[in-house]
Chain A
């Protein structure tokens, strides 16, 4: 039996006056590349914020690596690239090297300095995303797609087993989106990193993902990309609440 990296059972979550997630049963098997799609406001970000422990006080159970979330301590097994990553303060004076080093801060721990090995790890992570020549450039001087790669490097540097990405390709041009998926693909295949990816480009994603999940308050679909592409227009538009011809297979 494959290990379950994330396992949610009967999860409900409500904001002050908004029931955002309803009866979610959801599993992320080890080694999978899971694509999470759904309309805006469907609760995708809420779902991963629960997994990351940013949002608390849900109903139901969430297990991470087989441990109930309130007892879970190995947070550096999980890397996270936030939806907001590309809306950070662009004037912030930090080099690529400094930004990626933040991925190790928690792992290194309080009152300790970065060692030579840590610095090598940082350089290696930057190399993995193909940005070595920018190591000492200010992050604000890079393009959106390049910045996105740096944020991935930041989440890779602590050797996570699960990488969660929230709409990482928003604002990235088509050519770079392709490269970006190639990078994710190789992380998944070669480094055996489990991926959970929130995205709107269902077209490109279906070529790489092993599982696709559709979320609109409740889970509407959970299957492999083939089954997803066989969904009828009617199923999809019903699920999105509007016709979807803009989003599917637009590559």
Chain B
């Protein structure tokens, strides 16, 4: 692996991208999970799929060189704006935004795919991820997205944290909830677009939520949850990429299975620890 890593640029691109999304996806994912928005990531990834299908269609029919990565990103961001609008319209049924956006995304994807008379392996790669799909220019874009996400989260950390915990209290204290929601959902869209090349449309939300699900079991406090999520996310990405490369399996599958193993470990560790400390407390 190490040899081919230095030999092939595409492996380097993939590996660096993996490290970046292993950081930003669980980081943003922590906010997504505690705000009970896990499924919104899924909805947005399907809108991204529609964008990708649109990009592939244009590429095929008109030979225009905007890569599907960018059309996917554009659709994802536009979709995120719709999600916010829908959540505002259906205040009491905010989760309704999810099936609306999700089915809209799938519906558009089907239309674009059939207009192009079906696609080849490209689409398969987008669905399940690939170790060879990241180009140098994609990597630069993903670096840019990571910098944007990290800076914004750093700048708005305390406000986002407060909004996630208790929105009413945040609003009463004078936090601009609407604007911050908006920034947050756009960041989510960007992270999804950035992650899709490697984990694929169908599994991108797993990378944002499974590491957090594991972290939440054993962490004390929010910052520690973020830290553990990132450690678990990076571990899953690294193990998943290497094994995916060796066994020639799309990395989406191996990354997600690795995070599920981590999740099961953290649940069992917590259980054992709980039983032991209870024994101690009873004495």
* In contact, B216 and A98 (Cβ under 8 angstroms): no
* In contact, B174 and A98 (Cβ under 8 angstroms): no
Q: Which of B34, B166, B171 is packed against the most chain A CB atoms within 10 Å?
A: B166
* In contact, A105 and B158 (Cβ under 8 angstroms): yes
Q: Is A249's CB within 8 Å of the partner chain B?
A: no
* In contact, A98 and B161 (Cβ under 8 angstroms): yes
Given known A80-B169, A93-B34, contact A136–B158 (CB-CB < 8 A): no
Nearest-CB distance from A81 to chain B (Å)? Answer: 9
Q: How many residues of A contact B (CB 8 A)?
A: 32
Q: Is A138's CB within 8 Å of the partner chain B?
A: yes
Nearest-CB distance from B44 to chain A (Å)? Answer: 22
* In contact, A102 and B165 (Cβ under 8 angstroms): yes
Q: Is B159's CB within 8 Å of the partner chain A?
A: yes
CB closest residue in chain B, given A97: B221
Nearest-CB distance from B163 to chain A (Å)? Answer: 9
Nearest-CB distance from A50 to chain B (Å)? Answer: 12
| Interchain CB contact (< 8 A) of A89 among B34, B155, B169, B172 | B34
* In contact, B171 and A54 (Cβ under 8 angstroms): yes
* In contact, A93 and B216 (Cβ under 8 angstroms): yes
Chain A neighbourhood of B219, CB < 8 A:
93
Given known A76-B173, A102-B161, A111-B155, contact A136–B168 (CB-CB < 8 A): no
* In contact, B169 and A137 (Cβ under 8 angstroms): no
CB closest residue in chain B, given A73: B174
Nearest-CB distance from B146 to chain A (Å)? Answer: 20
CB closest residue in chain B, given A75: B174
| Interchain CB contact (< 8 A) of B222 among A88, A89, A98 | A98
Chain B neighbourhood of A108, CB < 8 A:
158
Chain B neighbourhood of A88, CB < 8 A:
165-166
Q: Is B175's CB within 8 Å of the partner chain A?
A: yes
Given known A98-B222, A110-B159, contact A92–B165 (CB-CB < 8 A): yes
| Interchain CB contact (< 8 A) of B165 among A75, A94, A110, A111 | A94
Given known A75-B174, A93-B216, contact A54–B225 (CB-CB < 8 A): no
- 1/0 per residue, CB under 8 A from A, across B170-200: the answer is 1111110000000000000000000000000
Q: Is A101's CB within 8 Å of the partner chain B?
A: yes
* In contact, B221 and A105 (Cβ under 8 angstroms): no
Q: Is B136's CB within 8 Å of the partner chain A?
A: no
Nearest-CB distance from B151 to chain A (Å)? Answer: 11
* In contact, A94 and B222 (Cβ under 8 angstroms): yes
- 1/0 per residue, CB under 8 A from B, across A75-103: the answer is 11000101011001101111101110111
Nearest-CB distance from B171 to chain A (Å)? Answer: 7
Given known A93-B34, A108-B158, contact A136–B173 (CB-CB < 8 A): no
Nearest-CB distance from B134 to chain A (Å)? Answer: 33
| Interchain CB contact (< 8 A) of B172 among A54, A110, A137 | A54
- 1/0 per residue, CB under 8 A from A, across B150-165: the answer is 0000011011011011
State in angstroms the CA–CA spacing of A154 and B172 once bound together. 13
Given known A89-B34, A93-B216, A136-B221, contact A99–B165 (CB-CB < 8 A): yes
Tell me the residues in window 12-26 of chain B with beta carbons closer than 8 Å to chain A beta carbons: none
* In contact, B216 and A91 (Cβ under 8 angstroms): yes
Nearest-CB distance from B168 to chain A (Å)? Answer: 6
* In contact, B168 and A102 (Cβ under 8 angstroms): no
* In contact, A93 and B222 (Cβ under 8 angstroms): yes
Chain B neighbourhood of A84, CB < 8 A:
168
* In contact, A82 and B222 (Cβ under 8 angstroms): no
* In contact, B34 and A92 (Cβ under 8 angstroms): yes
* In contact, A114 and B158 (Cβ under 8 angstroms): yes
Q: Is A223's CB within 8 Å of the partner chain B?
A: no
* In contact, B155 and A105 (Cβ under 8 angstroms): no
Chain B neighbourhood of A54, CB < 8 A:
168, 171-172
Chain A neighbourhood of B91, CB < 8 A:
none
Nearest-CB distance from A94 to chain B (Å)? Answer: 5
Q: Is A53's CB within 8 Å of the partner chain B?
A: yes
Chain A neighbourhood of B223, CB < 8 A:
98
Q: Is B220's CB within 8 Å of the partner chain A?
A: yes
State in angstroms the CA–CA spacing of A84 and B168 once bound together. 9
State in angstroms the CA–CA spacing of A248 and B161 once bound together. 41
State in angstroms the CA–CA spacing of A98 and B225 once bound together. 12
Q: Which of B162, B215, B216, B225 is packed against the most chain A CB atoms within 10 Å?
A: B162
Chain A neighbourhood of B175, CB < 8 A:
105-106
| Interchain CB contact (< 8 A) of B221 among A80, A98, A103 | A98
State in angstroms the CA–CA spacing of A98 and B221 once bound together. 7
Chain B neighbourhood of A80, CB < 8 A:
169, 172
State in angstroms the CA–CA spacing of A53 and B174 once bound together. 10
Binding site for A on B (CB under 8 A): 34, 36, 155-156, 158-159, 161-162, 164-166, 168-175, 215-216, 219-225
Q: Can you give 10 contacting A-B residue pairs, CB < 8 Å?
A: A52-B172, A75-B172, A88-B165, A92-B34, A93-B215, A93-B216, A95-B221, A99-B165, A106-B170, A154-B169
